[in-house]
Amino acid sequence: METVEMNSVSLKRPRSEDDVANADEIKRQKISEKSKTGNDSGQSVETVTDQPDKSLLEDTKNEIIPNEESEEQEDEELEDSDEDGDPESFADMMKHGLTESDVGITKFVSSHKGFSGILKERYSDFVVHEIGKDGRVSHLDDFSVPVDDEVIEDTKEKRTVIHQAVKSLFPGLETKTEDRDGKKYIIAYHAAGKKALAKVRTATDPRKHSWPKSRGSYCHFVLYKENKDTMDAINVLSKFLRVKPNIFSYMGTKDKRAITVQEIAVLRITAQRLAHLNKCLMNFKLGNFSYKNHPLKLGELQGNHFTVVLRNITGTDGQIEQAMHSLREIGFINYYGMQRFGTTAVPTYQIGRAILQNNWNEVMDLILKPRPGAEKGYLVKCREEWAKTKDPAAALKKLPVKRCVEGQLLRGLLKYGMKNIISAFGIIPRNNRLMYIHSYQSYVWNNMVSKRIEEYGLRAVPGDLTLKGATAVHIEEGDVDNYTIHDVVMPLPGFDVIYPKHKIGEAYKEMLVADNLDINNMRHKIRDYSLSGAYRKIIIRPQNVNWEVVAYDDPRIPLFTTDLDKLEGKPLPVLPTDGKFRALKMEFSLPPSTYATMAIREVLKMDTSIKNQTQLNTTWLR
């Protein structure tokens, strides 16, 4: 259940007249550019050289479907075309989205007065570095490629390794060894014809060519990416390497609208081939290569270190100091952030609840029915067709992007029929299906933790739960002074969990009864949908908290250097001491499955939902 920030959030005061004028000017420029290119469809005329960005409106991840290459390309073009939509229209559509109170996010733990600021005005204002299980923070600081120990002297065996490395890095080339003037040369040349194509396919399969026994089977590397989510990045790398995405492994997914640095492992792909991608890919850099004998596993990390800039802040120095001291000393409520619940008028937790209720007609209806709010045009037409005909074939024809959840479900209904919704739903990738029920768990947890804080405040009380190792135990009356609020955990509903022995334990039962669910029987007849319970800390206290306030004039200039900036020797811009704007630069580390937006929410005391923030700010800088 590793989750880190996914969506962009703007926390800003209401726009001035100048802001409105600037937004109008941007729109006029876009209209003018479209008329010049003759692109009436509104699709981007820019050449796409790698995997396009997903729209921030999407609430699920898509999988690449094998053997449908032309369909993938069409899907990518359509998805990319809506990326830079009219911000005013987007704000209007998001009036139907969720607010924090809709998903149980209602409380704060600090006492300072809130102030405003802009989060992710530029994606480079939000930087995430992964913290490995050994406590080491991942950084991109080395582009060099490791050399195998055996390639030292000239022997036939050593030359064979070089031949293999060239063919692996450049699959279209053949190599041979020639004697010239008493010296041996390895000659590389282009092959031709169908035999060459077959060799290319063989060379690009990591299991088909020789791999030195002394080298670990997995190449680990640091992936630096900008404005892409982790699965997008893996799909791009797999396409360029001509391999399947499932040979890559990683410890956690990272934000899209951000700069992120994380470790990736890939099976039997050489560091040379990976390093070559740095020359042809935008938005990514790969480095810090090493060979190891193991892949990476989801959740095998200590957390993430965040470097965040909040621009155009309005708080006084005193308010900022009080807010940041509170964040460091007390922390923030460990709510599941808004990205957990989707951005449309049909929250993901509602679909999860219907799955747990075994109400499959409701599941189908919630996914496919028309809905107000942020939707791409082809999805609107698909939903309208479905509402009118309930014909999956007719609805699918309206949907050029087949990889979305709606397209996958419709194809499932075509394959298995309308009377077998369970099998049809099963066509959707497992992680996407489980996302719905995890969203429901998160919804319950948010509501319950708000009730817990409202009822008992920021202190441990008898009947609360705490963890001893991996086991949850109740805090007894005579033992309560030995615990603080930072020791208290709350359960995610599921089987094999216990609940608090006070009012909140009863509140869990009441909430699930109202949702027609039995808290004592969370096992589903379909094993995948049986909710295993877990425990989650109420309050998270960030580590390594640092901050400073800086002045600046131009909102487009960076306010700190990234790993790539340092590698390329780019200096930090000189900032004015009396600039027009002020920014708060924050750094902090969080454990897995916690949300940086919830920490920032505590500092600013503002609603982080897209619905709320898009009403305040419609200018998005890339």
Q: Residue 427 pLDDT > 90, yes or no?
A: yes
pLDDT at 613: 65
**Average pLDDT value for residue range 308-312:** 95
pLDDT at 5: 37
pLDDT at 60: 30
Q: Using 50, 70 and 90 to split pLDDT, how confident is the model at 38?
A: very low
* pLDDT, tens digit, 9 for 90 and up, residues 250-264: 999 888 889 999 999
pLDDT at 63: 28
| Catalytic option among 53, 59, 255, 607 | 255
Q: Identify the three-state secondary structure at position 168.
A: helix
pLDDT at 64: 27
Nearest CA to 504 out of 554, 461, 553 is that of 461
**Average pLDDT value for residue range 80-109:** 69
pLDDT at 364: 96
* pLDDT, tens digit, 9 for 90 and up, residues 515-524: 999 998 888 9
pLDDT at 239: 92
> DSSP letter string over 559-604?
SS--HHHHHTTPPPPPPPTT-SEEEEEEEEEE-TT--HHHHHHHHH
Q: Using 50, 70 and 90 to split pLDDT, how confident is the model at 499?
A: very high
Containing H/E element for 539?
strand 539-540
pLDDT at 164: 79
**Average pLDDT value for residue range 388-394:** 95
* pLDDT, tens digit, 9 for 90 and up, residues 205-217: 544 457 888 899 9
Q: Residue 233 pLDDT > 50, yes or no?
A: yes
Report yes or no: 54 and 29 within 8 Å, Cβ to Cβ: no
Q: Residue 200 pLDDT > 60, yes or no?
A: no
Q: Using 50, 70 and 90 to split pLDDT, how confident is the model at 195?
A: low
* pLDDT, tens digit, 9 for 90 and up, residues 354-381: 999 999 999 999 999 998 876 788 889 9
pLDDT at 76: 44
* pLDDT, tens digit, 9 for 90 and up, residues 42-57: 322 222 222 323 222 2
Q: Using 50, 70 and 90 to split pLDDT, how confident is the model at 88?
A: very low
**Average pLDDT value for residue range 371-397:** 89
Q: Residue 107 pLDDT > 60, yes or no?
A: yes
Q: Residue 18 pLDDT > 50, yes or no?
A: no
Task: Give the per-residue SS3 of 41-100.
Answer: CCCCCCCCCCCCCCCCCCCCCCCCCCCCHHHHHHHHHHHHHCCCCCHHHHHHHHHHCCCH
Mean pLDDT of the chain: 81
Instruction: Give the E-state strand segments of 117-258 in sequence order.
Output: 118-119, 126-132, 173-180, 183-190, 218-226, 248-250
Q: Using 50, 70 and 90 to split pLDDT, how confident is the model at 182?
A: low
Q: Using 50, 70 and 90 to split pLDDT, how confident is the model at 71?
A: very low
CA distance 104 to 96: 17
pLDDT at 517: 94
CA distance 206 to 348: 38
pLDDT at 515: 96
CA distance 253 to 230: 5
Nearest CA to 53 out of 186, 233, 292 is that of 233
In the residue annotation, 229 being an active-site residue is answered as no
**Average pLDDT value for residue range 311-337:** 96
Q: Using 50, 70 and 90 to split pLDDT, how confident is the model at 97?
A: confident
Q: Residue 110 pLDDT > 80, yes or no?
A: yes
Q: Is the pTM for the entire model greater than 0.75?
A: yes
